[in-house]
Structures are given as C-alpha cells and as structure tokens.
Amino acid sequence: MDTEDTRRATIGDVAAHAGVSVTTVSHVLSGRRPVSTATQQKVRRSIDLLGFRPNEIARSMRSQRTHTAALVVPNIAHVVYPFVARGITEELRPLGYQISIYDTDDDPVVKADVLQVITDRRVDGVILFGFDITSTDAAVLTGASIPFVNGGLNAEVDGPYDCVRSDQRAGLEITTRHLIERFGGPLAFVGGLPGDGPADLRESGFRRAMAAAGLPVDERLVARVPYSWEGGREALAQLLAKDLPIRAVVCANDLIAIGGMAMARERGLRVPEDLAFTGYDNIEAGTMVVPTLTSVESFLDEQGRSCARLLIDRLGRGYGGPARHVSIDTALVVRASSGGTGS
C-alpha cells in the first residue's frame, strides 16, 4: 500500500498548502519580485514540508534552456574518451551544466541518430570528440541553432567549426628528436596503418624531425602495422629479420612500442642498451612494463577542458563570429626505454 503519494508535489500544491498563489511561490523561488518576509517563510515551510522541487522539464519548456551539454564520443570504452569527459565535466559542472555522455558505437548511422536525438532534446550545446564531422552532422545542429565544438585527433584545424586538437605531428617530432639526440642513429619507425586516423600525421612528424636533423629516412626501417601490441611484435620481428643496424625505434603509439620491446627482448636485445624505444599516448601500461616506456602525454583532460571553454564562449556569443581553433601542447615523458631520467 502506498502511504506515500506517488506524484511529486507541484508548485500548485505548494501554493495551496501555503495559502498563496503560484505566482508568489515562483517569486519566492526566483527572487524576481519582492515578497514579504512573512509570506516567504510560509512558502518555504510548505516547500520543505511537501518536498517540492521544480520540474526541470517544465522549466526547460518555458525557458528554452536545458542546462545540459552533450558529449558525443565514438566509443566510451576507448581509453582516451573518459579522460576527455572528466576534463569537460570539471569545467562545465561548476557553471551549472549537466553533462550527458553519448556513445555512438563507432557507427556513423548511430552517430547521426544520436545527434538528431540530442537536438530534439534541445541540449544547450554539444561537444563532439573523436569524429570526422560531416556536413550533414553539422547541419542538424546548426539547423536547430545548437552550438557545438569539435575535438580530438581528426578535428580539422582549418574547418569552419570551433575545434580543439593536440598537435600529434609535433609530438612525434619530439620523440624522434629525443632519440636522435641521445643515440644518433640509425632510427627505425613503426607507424599505424595508413588511413587509420592519426597514422599519417604521426609518420609525417617522424619524417620532419629526421629531415630537420639532416638524417635520411631508410625506408627499409619503416614499418606500418595495426595500432596494437601484436602489431608491435610483428613489426619488430620483421625489422630485426632484415639484419640491418638499428639503434632506436620510434613507435607511433604505446601499444606498438610495448609489443616491440617484448619482441626485442625475446630476441636477446637489451632495452635500451642495445635498442631504445619511444611510444606515444602515455598509457598506464607504459609505467608497468620493464623497462618503463618513454612516451608523449597529450593531456586529454586539458583537451576536454578546452572544448568546454570554447563551448561556453560560443554559448555566450551565439552563432556569430569566427570559428576558433585551439591546439593543446604535448609533453615528452622520459622513462627507461630511452635511457631514463629527466628530459
């Protein structure tokens, strides 16, 4: 038996209980018009007694604002996105925004659907992270006058939308330069498969650093494999089989580097004494393998925070004005795999 009334109290219930009109209750709540102290107290007591809380749906209906920002990501289980989400939340929650995270399951159809749904729900703003934005996607949002920010690896620096990214090319230049300074050469490079998002950017970073140091790239020492531990093992097996001298390996991400190190050690090489390694992304596993892995930190939480700030800014300015582009710096984290200690 429900002793409790199942329906939540409305502002009307409060007004009736306090013996005033709904207007008065609303004014007590919002403070937009003066209300006598006596009346205020009556009203507040009724509110407490009835456990009244304003219905946000009704509020949104009236005010046309939902105090909600949506974060859309391709796959929340991919390591990078949770950190981005935390950065965004930290920035936006204090301003009274709730963050709803939506996962598109790596499926463009689901992405389109999600975008439509959040548009129908009239979120105040959207942060897309980790996508190539299609013009249809953008049209859905702009058509509903919903501001959005694009972040992540594929965010177009030159696009017409606000965007945030980290400069991966520069990041790979840093690791390459680091290995050149410490060991000279010859250097091998293990990249991701072409077309896999950041692969081209990262490889171009390697090449640029080599060129800047006046070193030629030996194409026999360039391998491209899936961004995985197994990929790294395979790449190193191939490289070592060629029996060419190699002093260090620049890897395009940490999984490849960790797999590569494992293979090198299986083949009797000492890391970093015989062969040094660097990775990219600074994943947790890199701190737990032996030797610990030199990598590049791209400050995902900061990327998230930047997205949030851009969105806030856009919320204030409306759709007008130029698109803003923010680049987040990366940082080298030197560990044992490249000789360790300091940078």
Residue 45, binding choice from its own copies, DNA, none, Cβ under 5 to 8 Å by partner class = none
Single residue of 29, 39, 54, 156 touching its own copies by CB under 8 A: 54
The full DSSP string for 108-170 is HHHHHHHHHHHHHTT-SEEEEES-PPPHHHHHHHHHTT--EEEESTT--TTSSS-EEEE-HHH
Name the segment binding its own copies (CB under 8 A); options: 58-66, 163-171, 241-249, 269-277.
58-66
Residue 96 · residue 68 · CB < 8 Å: no
Other Cβ atoms less than 10 A from the Cβ of 306: the count is 26
Query: Using the rule CB under 8 A, is 14 a contact of its own copies?
Result: no
Q: Is 55 in the site for its own copies (CB under 8 A)?
A: yes
Q: CA distances (Å), 199 to each of 163, 175, 187, 207, 290, in order?
A: 20, 15, 18, 12, 26
Cα separation, 185 vs 167, whole angstroms: 25
Query: Shortest distance, CB of residue 91 to its own copies, whole angstroms?
Result: 12
* 143 or 245: CB nearest its own copies: 143
Which of its own copies, DNA, none sits in contact with 262, Cβ below 5 to 8 A by type?
Answer: its own copies
Contacts with DNA by CB under 7 A lie at: 7-8, 10-12, 15, 19-24, 26-27, 29-30, 32-36, 38-39, 52-55, 57-59, 61-64
Sheet containing strand 276-278, edge to edge, reads: 222-224, 187-191, 248-251, 276-278
Q: How far is the CB of 177 from its own copies (least distance, A)?
A: 26
With CA atoms as reference, report the closest residue to 294 among 304, 281, 311: 281
Question: For residue 147, is the peptide bond before it cis, meaning its omega torsion is within 30 degrees of 0?
Answer: no
Strands 331-333 and 295-297: antiparallel
What one-character-per-residue DSSP string does 162-216 give?
Answer: -EEEE-HHHHHHHHHHHHHHHH-S-EEEEE--TTSTTHHHHHHHHHHHHHHTTPP
The binder of 30, among its own copies, DNA, none, by C-beta within 5 to 8 A per type, is: DNA
Q: Which two tokens stand for residue 143?
A: 């058509």
Candidate residues 39, 40, 119, 204; the one interacting with its own copies per rule CB under 8 A: 119
Least Cβ distance, residue 38 to its own copies (angstroms): 28
Is 86 a residue that touches its own copies (CB under 8 A)? yes
**Candidate segments 37-45, 235-243, 269-277, 285-293, binder of its own copies by CB under 8 A:** 285-293
- Residue 219, classed as helix, strand or coil, is helix
Q: Answer with the entry of DNA, its own copies, none that 38 interacts with (C-beta below 5 to 8 A by kind).
A: DNA
Q: Give the contact letters, 211-230, x = binds to its own copies (CB under 8 A), - = no.
A: ------------------x-
Residues 64-83 that bind its own copies (CB under 8 A): 66, 75-78, 81-83
Question: Residue 4 interacts with its own copies (CB under 8 A)?
Answer: yes
Helix (H) or strand (E) holding 254: helix 254-266
Q: Report DSSP state, residue 84.
A: H
Give the binding site for its own copies (CB under 8 A). Answer: 4, 6, 8, 51, 53-58, 60-61, 66, 75-78, 81-83, 85-86, 89-90, 93, 98-103, 105, 110, 114, 116-122, 143-145, 229, 255, 258-259, 262, 265, 284-285, 287-290
